[in-house]
Amino acid sequence: MEWVTLVLSAIVVVISLRLFLVKNPPNAPPCIKGWIPWFGAAFEFGQAPLHFIAQARARYGPVFTVLVAGKRLTFVTDHEDFQAFFMSKDVNFEQAVQEPVQNTASISKESFFKFHAASIALIKGKLTPGNTALLANHLCEEFNNHLENWGSKGSGCLNNLLRNVMYPAVMSNLLGKCNSPNGPAAIQEFVKRFSTYDDGFEYGSQLPAMFLKEWSSSKKWLLSLLESMIIRAVDIPSNESRSETLLQYLVTIIADKFQPNYGLLMLWASLANAIPITFWALAFILSNPAIYKSAMVQISSVLKDRDKKNTRVSLDDLQEIPYVKWCIMEAIRLRAPGAVTRRVVRPFKLQNYIIPSGDLLMLSPFWAHREPRYFTDPEDFKPERWEKADLRKNGFLEGFVAFGGGKNQCPGRWYAIMELHLFVALILYKFEFTLLDQVPEPSLLHLVGTQQPDRPCTVEYSHR
Ligand code: HEM
């Protein structure tokens, strides 16, 4: 046995040394290699990746590479280079995300390259601003029903309260009522499993499943849930009065055994970013009396004496409540995803550098939105900065990249904005809140997706 260990150790040492001694390619950006062969700067980077990016930028300039566990991550931080990041044919989205997708949703490489483009084209087509508008009334009904389960008053962790309402409501809206968890026990179980899966998503995308027991078991649970949803979606297409759901469309595109796995990815994409943003939007509004007052003036004047239990809010009403939409956009700006990524597939010229094929190219919307040339007083929550954006015509502010860009820009962005605008206007009309804790800071532990709060935030609520 001993000689086996010896040979294996020798192989590891040779591979590590080879990787460590490999020189940075000529004209490549400065490279932070760390001092442990192969691991590179994984330890320092993994502890607080968002802080690491800011420090590295200050030290090495706007383009730099970090060696992390055998991978070269090259960060692009100048707004002037973002167009090239999103539009160049030398970089590719699918090549960058295939491996993480295989780890998090168990979709084979072959299936991913065969069906990914078509499935995204379908989601994009079904969630255009026009199609999204058709989903609004049903979503409003669902929000009302689940919010009424809170009773006339109570208290709890704001993030959990929101998850208990928004997860089942959005699932009913996008996957069909029969596929939404029904009743308090089922909702609680779903919230627990999905939160575990979401919290560990970034680690799950990199590490073998054996290191993540609880996460793997939640993933298995969610996959079997999706399997039964697919059976229902295929078997009873006419069991609902509404038109077909996104899930029903999706199964017509995926012609292999991975249908539930694509379903899980779509479910994750539709819940994982939008719901933390709802938390932040409400936390920013509730903790700032002047902002709260401005929001309530518009909400009360438009919704006036609507029924407080089954409150109908239409898209026309929302057009008259733009201030809440500005709050949503400002919350997205400040808590934008840590990074979006592409794979360099041909040597890619940027500034005076040539970035080699194989590098993972990274752009951080979180830091891009803190650039004072584009956003004055970038750390301040200032909804009125969005007055300049043509939101009615679906325009964003220059420099805003929270939804990514190019042909892989988030296909759910119009749905997300409608969902959050509707929800925040509705909940503030129906309930009064008191914050019992200070607003948490964003946890800077993750690069994937929008930031989660770093600790619970308790609120007291009462029905108006
Ligand atoms: C505030 C909420 C949201 C934010 C900040 C957000 C952000 C993003 C970002 C940054 C990407 C990657 C884009 C790129 O690499 O260029 C993405 C992809 C995606 N998003 Fe969103 N998203 C949100 C909500 C949603 C919702 C509600 C849905 C579905 C209803 C959705 C569906 C998707 C899907 C399916 C992809 C994958 C696209 C692909 O594989 O090409 N997102 N999102």
pLDDT value of position 9: 64
Q: How many C-beta atoms surround the C-beta of residue 365 within 10 A? A: 24
pLDDT of residue 226: 96
Is 327 annotated as a binding-site member?
A: no
> Closest Cα to residue 163, out of 190, 202, 199, 141?
190
Domain spans of the chain?
Answer: 108-337+369-463
For the entire predicted model, the pTM comes to 0.94
pLDDT of residue 211: 85
CA distance 404 to 332: 12
Mean pLDDT in each 10-residue stretch from start to end of the chain (464 residues)? 61 54 80 88 92 97 95 97 97 97 97 97 95 96 97 97 97 94 95 96 87 94 95 67 81 94 97 97 98 98 94 97 98 98 97 96 98 97 95 88 97 97 98 97 90 96 97
Q: For 331-361, give one letter per residue: b (16+ CB within 10 A) or e.
A: bbbbbbbbbbbbbbbebbebeebebbeebbb
Q: What is the DSSP letter of 36?
A: B
Tell how strand 153-157 and strand 458-463 pair up.
Answer: antiparallel
38/212 Cα distance (integer angstroms): 22
CA of 305 to the centre of ligand 1 (A): 36
∠ at Cα 98 (224, 259), nearest 5°? 30
What pLDDT, on the 0 to 100 scale, is given for residue 241? 47
pLDDT for 25: 83
Helix axes 184-199 and 158-175, enclosed angle (nearest 10): 100
Residue 84: how many other CB atoms lie within 10 Å: 16
Residue closest by Cα to atom 43 of ligand 1:
410
User: What's the CATH class of domain 108-337+369-463?
Assistant: mainly alpha
Residue 305 has what pLDDT? 87
Ligand 1 binding pocket, CB closer than 6 Å = 93, 120, 123, 127, 266, 269-270, 273-274, 277, 332, 337, 340, 402-405, 408-412, 415-416, 450
What is the position in ligand 1's atom list of the atom closest to the CA of 116? 40
* Chain mean position to CA 380: 22
Residue nearest to atom 9 of ligand 1 (CA): 403
Q: What is the pLDDT of residue 197?
A: 96
